[in-house]
Amino acid sequence: MKVRTRSAMAVLAIGALALTSACAEGNQGAPAAPSGSAGASAPAVEAYKAPTITVGTAEDSKGPAIEPEGVVKGGTVTMIDRDDFSHMDPGQLYVNTETNFSLLIARTLTGYKRTAKSEYKLVGDLATDTGTPSDGGKTWTFTLKDGVKWEDGTPITSEDVKWSMERTFASFITQGPTYIQQWLTDVDHKKAYQGPYDGKRLDAIETPDEKTIVYKFKTPHADANYAFAMGGYGIVPKAKDTKEKYDKAPVSSGPYIIKNHVVDKSIDLERNPNWDPATDPIRGAYPDKWRLEFGQEALQITDRLMADAGPDQTAFTFYATVPPERLQQVLGDPALAPRLMKSPSPYGNYYYFNLDRMKDQKIRQAINYAWPSKQIQQTMGGPAAAALPTTILNENTTVGYQPYDLFNKTTKPEGDIEKAKQLLAESSNPTPTIVYAYNQTPVQEQVTVVIKSALEKAGIKVVAKPLDRKTYYDSIGLTKNEFDLYWGGWGADWPSGSTVMPVIFGPIADGAPNYSHLKDEAITKKMDEITAMTDIDAQNAAWMALDKEIQETITPLVVAENRIANTLHGSKIGGAEIDPQSWVVQPNRIFVKQ
Amino acid sequence: MTIPAPAASTTVEPPAVKTPETVGRSPGQLMWLRFRRDPTGIASAGVVIFFFLVAILAPVISWLYGKDPYTLYGQDTPGLLNDFGYPVLPNGGMSSDFWFGVEPNLGRDVFMQLVYGIRTSLLIAMVATILISVIGIVMGIVAGYAGGRTDYFIGRLIDLVLSFPSTLFIIAFMPVVENLFVDPSEETPVWLRAVTLITLLTAFGWAGIARLLRGQVLSMREREFVEAAKVTGASPARIIFKELLPNLWTPILIQSTLLLPAMVTAEAALSFLGVGMIEPIPDWGRMFLRGTQVYQNDITFLIFPGAALLIFVIAFNLLGDSVRDAFDPKLKR
């Protein structure tokens, strides 16, 4: 009896405790910006300086990389992130975290060398310089450096470089950039050439000797040297090419070798003895060992980095930004300011309509009007975590940016339900049902609730389909997918508007980034004309005009919120910086403080 | 002749008055009498009934309270949440409009979320408990009474189920079910999630109660009253239902009253791990999950579902305790 009376009392006591401790303080508005940290004020976009990128000389292309201040070599660095890399085969790389990782194990012909904050130079990585164009930009010649080797010590030859490009035509390569392939052959490059595995070689690439490689394009491409810097054009050894299996066990040409890979859990890297820093102007490769851990949500990662305990002091993350739940705390804590990195997204983020299934433009416009931009922004953590753009081209990375606002997003960021209803009434189906596919992350799950709630107010039934995160892009990349609306991000592959529009509205293929499946002859023709323009300013203006025209006449997408990354790193990590182009913390300059 | 005849009445009355009350009471009545005298039992029963009423009357409460669990109040009404998505008012945004506060980011009403979350969780737990009890009783009695080969096979099956890592299995199995039964262009139906959860919880839950009952039946099978029934030619069905089952009600009742809170917590745990009910169906376990994510800035959001679950589980366990004591006073501490 006594025992039970006491336990009944315990219940009461706990209940009382719950009531008393419930006196939590309120959260009055946004906290003031912590003093002393310049870039931490709420509208971070203003403090942001767009990166300047220039073409470097052969002298710039010599190693080693410029060392960060106070650099220390050695030690083990930990990288914590949510997802394992779904691809490691260079030919399959297009996702920013994956290409970022490939900097550690694979080299490209050219690359970006950081010379100062927000200042980069395009330099030769494997090549001695950024290539020599001839024939009006149709022919590009590269010479390989001396002393560049594979992890087994065999030299990297021009034959390997040629092979790496040829194999990207093979049928098992479904991701990855396709610019150079198209320039070498045809827009439908996979039809023009099927890869080197059946013995047929590509004549458009010539290898006069072991060190020289010549690319012959069909049309002039003055910016080809930028294209060769993409992680997707990393090299693969001809002698050790295992086709599909290469994706699981790549051979290293970079500073590290994969020692151990437990899928979805961890990757251990150790030094590649055959990588010579004197040949590499880009990669510092200061730590001796890397440990990459996967499977943690951004929230846990942020909590670990905030606590900064023991081994987490030497940890950082490629991509896990501070989630909405912790933003108030992280931005309000001056002690965390030195370890906080901030950068607005250089990407365009869109909710693509699948035009094969959503054929009525009125419905697409109605969804645009009803779109709950402001609510999504709040769910993501407010103006400190996301901006609300209205254009397809990103304002942070577009030269000659001209804003326009077709769907009243500046006046009604919370969505114009009345206008949407009106448009739906005029459309072919006033009560449509759409299938919205989303990446199943905690934040996206909440955003989905918000979208569903808003669109249902306008009378649109939303069927939400969660997709597995690791294969998200693979799922929405299928041309025959069964979804109507899905999110996709796209970033300029090098600083030019030509790497956005002709890509996201380019060829339709499995894995190609034309997720809306837009196929319009007039638009395609216009894009070809703009690409061929030689006056850069006129070209930029033309891209801006086309941006508006596409949204007006076709409406293939809803412009999504543009996230602002707030990312923490451990206190013993030096040289950490969000790369303004790829928007991930790049590994080249990371070192472990003693 | 003049003597009245009160004697007759007096002769009748005394025995009626004097005999002590040897009214025949069934074990159930005895149990009820003892239970009524146990204040803890009564109090916890009250709490449990209250929770069930809340669950059953959720739509009525919603109608009286004037809010529903799906509307994103915090987003529709400016001023409730700040830029970071946290409630502006102290105590998680508690006010006369939002009794338990506003959910961070999405801005739904916490009180309604909790009421409907309790409803979801209790419904799943209730159905699972009933199914577990029925299957457990059948398997246990059959194994114990039939013996021999039947007992051997059921015994091994119980061993297998008991040694299976159930939580891991459920986490791995949920996506498989979804891929198998749900068309890619359709949303996963709520009932499918619920049925799968109930099925899996049942599949891994019945073994405990079955093993317990098997042991009880085994010890009773050789007792005189069963022998006597057999000798008089009673059918196995009669022996099971009329001779054995009445003696098993005590362990069955106790087991199931302890099982229900276990199922509630199991369901909450699965939702916490992300394989329970999904948005936007309110769920107790998922409220916790969200609570643990935001507690550093909004502790109130964690406290309400936390305190509610704590009170419910303790009350139900105490109730199970009291029921056991009332059935079996010999074991009283």
> Any CB–CB contact under 8 A between A16 and chain B?
no
Nearest to A205 by CA among A162, A161, A251: A162
CA distances (Å), B118 to each of A504, B52, B55, B58, B288, in order? Answer: 46, 9, 6, 9, 12
**CB-based contact A11 B314, cutoff 8 Å:** yes
Q: Does B198 touch chain A (CB under 8 A)?
A: no
Residue of A157, A159, A180 lying closest to A168 (CA atoms): A180
Mutate to test the interface with B, among A1, A328, A380 (most CBs of B within 10 A): A328
A 249-278 near B (Cβ less than 8 A): none
What is the reported pLDDT for B28? 75
Q: Is A325 close to B279, i.e. CB distance below 8 A?
A: no
Instruction: Give strand pairing partners of A559.
Output: A350
Count of pairs with CB atoms under 8 A, one residue in A, one in B: 141
**Predicted local distance difference test score (pLDDT) of residue B332:** 52
> Which of the residues A17, A378, A412, A444 would you substitute to probe the B interface, choosing the one with the greatest number of B C-beta atoms within 10 Å?
A378
Q: Which of A407, A346, A480, A462 is nearest to A45 (CA)?
A: A346
Q: Of A112, A125, A120, A115, give the one whose Cα is nearest residue A68.
A: A115
Q: What is the pLDDT of residue A209?
A: 92
Q: Do A382 and B84 touch (CB under 8 A)?
A: yes
**pLDDT of B3:** 56
**CA angle, B273 as apex, B270 and B276 as ends, to 5°?**
45
The verdict on whether omega for the bond into residue B280 sits within 30 degrees of 0, i.e. cis, is yes
B79 interface with A at CB cutoff 8 Å: no
Mean pLDDT by 10 residues, chain A (594 residues): 36 38 46 33 47 85 89 93 90 89 94 88 92 89 93 94 94 88 88 91 92 91 86 92 91 94 94 93 93 91 92 92 86 89 86 90 91 88 86 78 85 87 89 88 85 90 83 84 87 74 84 86 88 76 88 90 90 90 90 89
Alpha-carbon dihedral sign for residues B175, A93, A118, A388:
negative
The pLDDT score that the predictor gives to residue A181 is 92
Q: In terms of Cα–Cα distance, which of A11, A383, A241, A50 is closest to B48?
A: A11
B148 within 8 A of B294, measured Cβ to Cβ: no
Decide: A271 and A200 in contact? Cβ < 8 Å. no
Q: Return per-residue pLDDT of chain B as tens, 333 residues.
A: 455 554 444 444 444 555 556 677 777 788 888 888 888 889 999 999 999 999 999 899 888 888 888 888 887 887 788 877 788 887 777 888 888 888 888 888 889 999 999 998 889 999 999 999 999 998 998 888 888 898 899 999 999 998 988 888 888 888 788 778 877 666 778 888 888 889 989 998 899 899 999 988 888 888 888 889 889 988 888 888 888 888 888 888 888 888 888 888 888 888 878 787 877 788 888 888 888 888 888 888 888 888 998 998 899 888 888 887 887 766 554
**What one-character-per-residue DSSP string does A514-583 give?**
-TT----HHHHHHHHHHHH---HHHHHHHHHHHHHHHHHHT--EEEPPEEEEEEE--TTEES--B-TTT-
pLDDT at A49: 66
> Is some CB atom of chain B closer than 8 A to the CB atom of A413?
no
Note whether A508 and A345 are within 8 A (CB). no
User: Shortest Cα distance from B124 to chain A (angstroms)?
Assistant: 23
Task: Record the pTM.
Answer: 0.71
- Report the chain A residue with the minimal C-alpha distance to residue B289: A442
Residues in B closer than 8 angstroms to A465, CB to CB, are: 184-185, 187
Which residues 59-98 in chain A show a CB within 8 A of chain B?
A: none
- The pLDDT assigned to B134 comes to 92
Q: Is the dihedral of CA A207, A208, A212, A218 positive or negative?
A: negative
Instruction: Inspect the interface and report whether the beta carbons of A7 and B44 lie closer than 8 Å.
Output: no
Q: What is the DSSP letter of B77?
A: S
Q: How far is A245 from A266, CA to CA, in rounded Å? A: 19
Cα–Cα–Cα angle for B325, B331, B333, rounded to 5 degrees: 85
| CA–CA dist A507, A208 (Å, integer) | 33
- DSSP letter (8 states) at residue A396: T
Give the single-character DSSP code of A67: P
Task: Output the furthest CA–CA distance in chain A (Å, rounded).
Answer: 98
The ipTM value here is 0.70
C-alpha span between A407 and A423 (Å, rounded): 12
Query: What pairs with residue A267 in β-bridges?
Result: A261, A292
Closest CB to B106: pick one of A1, A42, A379.
A379
Q: Which residues contact A440 (CB under 8 A, 6 or more apart)?
A: A466, A467, A468, A469
3 state DSSP class of A467: strand
Q: What residue of B is the nearest CA neighbor of A475?
A: B184
Residues of chain A with Cβ-Cβ distance to B184 below 8 Å are 465, 482
With CB atoms and an 8 Å threshold, state whether A27 touches B298: yes
pLDDT for B166: 82
- How far is Cα A395 from Cα A389, in angstroms, rounded to an integer? 8
Q: How far is Cα B53 from Cα B49, in angstroms, rounded to an integer? A: 6
Pair of tokens at residue A364 = 């697409």
